[in-house]
Structure 1
Amino acid sequence: MTKTAVVIGSGIVGLCSALRLAQAGWRVRIADPRAPGEGCSAGNPGGVSVSSILPAAAPGVVKKVPGWLLDPEGPLSIRPTYLPRLAPWLVRFLRASSPDRYRQGMENLYALTRTAQGAWIDLLASIGETQTLRRDGHLIVYRSREQFDVETASWQRRQKLGLNIEEIDTDDLAALVPALSAEYRLARKVLDNGWLVDPLAVCRSIAAQLAARGAAFERQAVQDLAVDASGRPRLTVGGREIAADLVVLAAGAWSARLARRVGDKVALQPERGYSVTWDKPGFSVPMPVFSPSEKIMAGPTRGGIRFAGTAEFTGFDSPPNWKRAEALERLGRRMFPGLTKEIAGERWIGLRPSTPDGLPVLGPSRSSDRIIHAFGHGHVGVTTAAVTADIVRALAERASPTIDLAPYDPGRFSSTLG
């Protein structure tokens, strides 16, 4: 008898998970009111960033919180009116910033990211999309030796974990990225990193493969999630009740409400991100370029360039603060003076699912191992989507995942110290 699975969420994590389940013989249904990939993937710069393993909750971060409240255009801001609702999450965030928890968080993130390129290569090969992933690395660029040296210790920690880093001097940087402002004097090239040239197109390709395998797409929201007396998941979708042998909750920032319905109280906040994309910037960049001083990523897209790097905690329903997108435009033009002032880029906003410790919620629900949580990936959703899909498939098939899932356990927030 064919096993049935419902994947809640058609973002890149949900789609990759659905594909791996379908390939393992499950009859899959995907439930999401939006079209495949039209959440965070639509405006993501596409980085498959093995090196993105530094949790935002870093030692000393408590000193930065007042500045976040006062700077509405900074790289990370908190709207004061939202602070009362954010407070419990923020307390956990600050607790996660101790040196020991920060170090452990870095190792736990690397456990997920270190195999990201290989997982993406395998998944994309399975659908004939091998040219979608580029493996030319990322550049981290600096204006001065002082800025470069400030980050040396953090990169040395990552090198000890196994990352391959190459230092780039001024002349080589100018030759490698001619369009980059001459203000930038030094760089580090992260050889392990890569990028998807069009994350939305990848989502649509995966969705097409799923449809070809007979998967059904429900363009409806899931109103309820429960477990019946036999331990089987039951969902309410568009007013209809559906039973399934397996449910994968991968609804991104919207996952917490449904997790609570099955007894899993997770600390999750919607973290609003902005990006600006130029389809025809007049120049090209050979790989993603990140400037730590501005906290901005410039990612090459199909013939264009996308700038991203801002985060805002303001809840689900507040209106966009387009000044943050304007700030990205200004920083983008500073990085790449060839961007014309007369033509503005296409602006985008989306909601990342953010946990206080920076780790995803990944593993079975406490109410049933037939409900698998796969959300909360924050800034590494694209990076770890294929890795997560392999873990979901292993859990669904009652096999052992390749990594220890204890650090990502949904129940880790049940403690007041979680």
Structure 2
Amino acid sequence: MTTHSSLHAAPPHSAAGQRTDADIVVVGAGIVGVACALELSRLGRKVLVIDREAPGMGASFGNAGHMATEQVFPVADASMLWRIPRMLVDSTGPLRLDWRYLPKAAPWLMRLMWNMRAGPTRQATAGLSALNEASLTAWQELLGDIGQTGLLKAEGSLLVHERADSSDALAGIAKRMQAQGVPVERFPREQVLERAPELTEAIQGALFFPDTGHVTDPYRLVSVLVRAAEQHGARFVQAEVEGGRVSDDGVRLETSTGVITASQVLVACGAHSAPLVEALSEVRVPLDTERGYHLMLPNESNRLPMAVTSLERSFIMTPMDQGLRLAGTVEFAGLKRPANMGRAWQLERLAQGMFRRPLNSEGATPWMGFRPSLPDSLPVIDRVGPGKRLWLAFGHHHLGLTQAAITARLIGSFLHEEDTPSVATTTPTSLPSLEPYRLARFA
């Protein structure tokens, strides 16, 4: 880890000759921030990454590991309305709203419901589809460039159902996804069990999504990106950003270890982004958090060949190097309330009924993390402020892992509007338009 003293030892110069600590400071060392840091350092910029935690120790540590390119529909769905009473009383249900957090969450929930209208839903779906369509290829290119393709298993995923009366619902999901260009196949029970023979014969059928995949170790994924970025000169500092300002002359950040100056700053600190964005841009972003839980079963690494989601039980199981990860619940309770690990252990009870043989839960470990959620389900990816020095990449809710590589490509494209050094890189993935992800939609 770079120390504060070495951070100031030999500051570079900006294009205007002003002494700075970096060309670009990335605030946030999760999967999005680290992927962006790698992209920017590969393009020849002097990059400094700062986070209150070590790289990858936030939500990126505990995500489900699923490259969820099939998830193109926003969270805002009219079906949520009739579920609100149960959300308030069921502490271990798949979707929970802590009643004590309801007064604070109410404005965000109102904006969420406003986005359930047909127009905003179409816009959000188009924005999610544009990112997701490019996401898997962007990851394959990125990992190929650094020789780490083995971390990504692009072998598809399954959405299974157990009740016969769920067949129509599954067909409806397939029809909606096909209308958005999502590749999907209908599998009968026999085909499901051929792919995943450990699953129970109670499975009636499934949807198979061929253009999805999973990572074998989310934390290791962040770690290898950090090492690759360091090889290109990026530096990593563990400290907290306490404030700052952006001007025509550059960026000044006050941190727990001192002042940092740079030509640009990229805010990519997930669920913790809103206060810093408001301080630097005077835009109050309606960012809340989905608290996600997982349970890791260390003795079950060979149960499944791919990620499997249960339609009725509303959770996902992903095979990883360290075991089987059970994940997928959502809780709205803010950043400060203690974790309710009963929600994580509930995942084990849900999973036991999915297999022919009982799962081995010995040594299982629960976890909770914060997913950054905006009411329209779209991230903010933009450059704003004086001289467009404030760059933004946050609010990916439960698609941070999926969209990190393509987000990094979009952030890297900002440099092509400047004097980008001649650096040998692969041909970039075709990039989506930034219009759906602009900060101005909240201004």
Range of TM-score over shorter length: over 0.9
Tell me, yes or no, if structure 1 residue 40 matches structure 2 residue 63.
Answer: no
What is the total number of aligned residue pairs between the two structures? 413
C-alpha offsets along residues 270-319 of structure 1, whole Å, 9 cap, x if unaligned? 22110011121274211100112111010110152100011111111211
2:134 alignment partner in structure 1: 115
TM-score where L is the length of structure 2: 0.89
C-alpha offsets along residues 112-146 of structure 1, whole Å, 9 cap, x if unaligned? 10011110011111211011111110101011342
Residue type at the aligned position of 1:129: Q
- The CA distance in 2 between the partners of 1:251 and 1:406, in whole Å, is 21
- Secondary structure at the residue paired with 2:150? coil
2:166 alignment partner in structure 1: 147
In structure 2, the CA distance between the partners of 1:226 and 1:337, relative to structure 1 (3 Å rule), is: farther
1:368, distance to aligned residue in structure 2 (A): 4.8
In structure 2, the CA distance between the partners of 1:154 and 1:367, relative to structure 1 (3 Å rule), is: farther
- The CA distance in 2 between the partners of 1:293 and 1:330, in whole Å, is 14
The percentage of aligned residue pairs carrying the same residue is: 33
Equivalent runs, 1:125-144 vs 2, <5 Å: 125-144=144-163
In structure 2, the CA distance between the partners of 1:28 and 1:339, relative to structure 1 (3 Å rule), is: farther
1:155, distance to aligned residue in structure 2 (A): 2.1
Tell me, yes or no, if structure 1 residue 335 matches structure 2 residue 364.
Answer: no
- The CA distance in 2 between the partners of 1:342 and 1:20, in whole Å, is 39
Aligned 8 A contact 1:136 1:193 in 2:
yes
Equivalent runs, 1:19-418 vs 2, <5 Å: 19-228=38-247, 230-262=248-280, 263-281=282-300, 283-302=302-321, 304-340=323-359, 343-398=362-417, 402-414=431-443
- The CA distance in 2 between the partners of 1:332 and 1:116, in whole Å, is 29
Residue type at the aligned position of 2:438: D
Question: Where does structure 1 differ by over 4 angstroms across 4 or more consecutive aligned residues?
Answer: none
Comparing 88-97 with 149-158, greater Cα deviation is found at 149-158
Comparing 111-120 with 400-409, greater Cα deviation is found at 400-409
Residue type at the aligned position of 1:241: V
Comparing 250-259 with 404-413, greater Cα deviation is found at 404-413
1:89, distance to aligned residue in structure 2 (A): 0.6
- Secondary structure at the residue paired with 1:73? coil
1:336, distance to aligned residue in structure 2 (A): 2.7
- The CA distance in 2 between the partners of 1:21 and 1:339, in whole Å, is 47
C-alpha offsets along residues 218-255 of structure 1, whole Å, 9 cap, x if unaligned? 10011113113x25221112242211111110000000
1:333, distance to aligned residue in structure 2 (A): 1.2
- The CA distance in 2 between the partners of 1:93 and 1:272, in whole Å, is 17
In structure 2, the CA distance between the partners of 1:343 and 1:393, relative to structure 1 (3 Å rule), is: same
- The CA distance in 2 between the partners of 1:204 and 1:406, in whole Å, is 31
Residue type at the aligned position of 1:363: D
In structure 2, the CA distance between the partners of 1:116 and 1:342, relative to structure 1 (3 Å rule), is: closer
Aligned 8 A contact 2:25 2:264 in 1:
yes
Aligned 8 A contact 2:297 2:361 in 1:
no
Unaligned 5+ residue runs, structure 2?
A: 1-12, 15-21, 419-427
- The CA distance in 2 between the partners of 1:304 and 1:323, in whole Å, is 20
Unaligned 5+ residue runs, structure 1?
A: none
2:422 alignment partner in structure 1: none
1:343, distance to aligned residue in structure 2 (A): 1.8
TM-score where L is the length of structure 1: 0.94
- The CA distance in 2 between the partners of 1:345 and 1:215, in whole Å, is 36
- The CA distance in 2 between the partners of 1:140 and 1:77, in whole Å, is 22
1:10 alignment partner in structure 2: 29
- Secondary structure at the residue paired with 1:50? coil
- The CA distance in 1 between the partners of 2:100 and 2:293, in whole Å, is 20
Aligned 8 A contact 2:192 2:206 in 1:
yes
1:341, distance to aligned residue in structure 2 (A): 5.8
- The CA distance in 2 between the partners of 1:15 and 1:180, in whole Å, is 36
Residue type at the aligned position of 2:105: L
- The CA distance in 2 between the partners of 1:250 and 1:265, in whole Å, is 16
Comparing 292-301 with 366-375, greater Cα deviation is found at 366-375
- The CA distance in 2 between the partners of 1:132 and 1:283, in whole Å, is 16
- Secondary structure at the residue paired with 2:275? helix
Aligned 8 A contact 1:223 1:239 in 2:
no
- The CA distance in 1 between the partners of 2:23 and 2:128, in whole Å, is 31
C-alpha offsets along residues 348-397 of structure 1, whole Å, 9 cap, x if unaligned? 11101011111111112345511111000001100000000000011233
1:337, distance to aligned residue in structure 2 (A): 4.9
Residue type at the aligned position of 1:380: L
- Secondary structure at the residue paired with 1:404? coil
- The CA distance in 2 between the partners of 1:122 and 1:95, in whole Å, is 38
1:60, distance to aligned residue in structure 2 (A): 3.7
1:329, distance to aligned residue in structure 2 (A): 1.1
